[in-house]
Amino acid sequence: MSDPKESNLQNAMEAIIQVFHSYSGKEGDKYKLSKVELKNLLKGELSDFLTGSKDPMVVEKIMADLDEDQDGQVDFQEFIILVGVLTIACNEFFKDCPTDSGSNKD
Q: What is the CATH number of the domain that holds 86?
A: 1.10.238.10
Q: Is residue 18 part of a domain?
A: no
Give CA–CA dist 30/97, Å, rounded: 40
Q: Is residue 85 part of a domain?
A: yes
Which residues span the domain enclosing 71?
31-95
Q: In a 10 Å sphere around its CB, with 0-12 CB exposed, 13-18 middle and 19+ buried, how is residue 50 labelled?
A: middle
Q: Is residue 101 part of a domain?
A: no
If one counts the domains in the chain, the total is: 1
pLDDT number for residue 53: 74
- Nearest alpha-carbon partner for 62 in 45, 83, 48, 44: 83
Q: Is residue 9 part of a domain?
A: no
Q: Is residue 12 part of a domain?
A: no
List, for residues 26-72, the tens digit of each pLDDT value: 888 999 999 999 999 999 998 887 777 777 788 888 889 988 888 99
DSSP 8-class letter at 32: E
Whether the predicted model's global pTM rises above the 0.85 cut: no
Q: Is residue 69 part of a domain?
A: yes
Q: Is residue 53 part of a domain?
A: yes
List, for residues 64-98, the tens digit of each pLDDT value: 998 888 899 999 999 999 999 888 888 887 777 76
Backbone phi, psi, residue 75, to 5°: -85, 180
CA 30, 40, 86, 7 torsion: positive or negative?
negative
Q: Is residue 56 part of a domain?
A: yes
